[in-house]
Amino acid sequence: MASLNAIKPKARLSNSNILFLIAAVIFVVMYLFAIISFPASFLQFQTFFDLFNLNAPLLIMTLGLCIVMIGGGIDISIGSVCGLITMACAVFLQSETPSIWGAVLISLGIGIAFGLLQGYLIAYLEIQPFIITLSGLFMAQGLLTTLHKDPINVTMPAFVKLRDFDIV
């Protein structure tokens, strides 16, 4: 009697694995190009660590946007809302708000209110997410321009100390 040979199926790369692989290859190629172009600075471990440490807020926003996109939605207003929140915090700190945490909490409240309004319009009124977030982008950009037209340099010592705080 002939024995049955179990044929193992070939392992295939899924679409998500291919995209991850492409992103990893692009990152490595770009980093190698930077090492070749600027060997004195990019060969240090601290430079590699700083790529992630200094971009942590951007990575956190990207993860939040990934959750939205995995759920089948889209949010193109995230950059403008982030700019609005940042400018609101800077304006509150420039106006000598007695508490840094008060300025931060008020700014976060503005962002949460913005998100809740857009979420309500999308979820309950069933308006297309692209339309809502596009109008939210323009609204946040308009509020940002109305709030303050010039850059603000916050020099409050307590906020500078908070900004320079490192966990690692």
**Please, what is the average pLDDT of the chain?**
85
* 51-68 pLDDT per residue, tens: 888 888 888 999 989 888
* 129-155 pLDDT per residue, tens: 999 999 999 999 999 999 888 888 877
Q: Model pTM greater than 0.95?
A: no
Handedness of CA 129, 130, 132, 133 (dihedral sign): positive
Q: Which of 78, 42, 44, 46 is nearest to 166 (CA)?
A: 46
* 88-140 pLDDT per residue, tens: 988 888 886 678 888 889 999 999 999 999 999 999 999 999 999 999 999 99
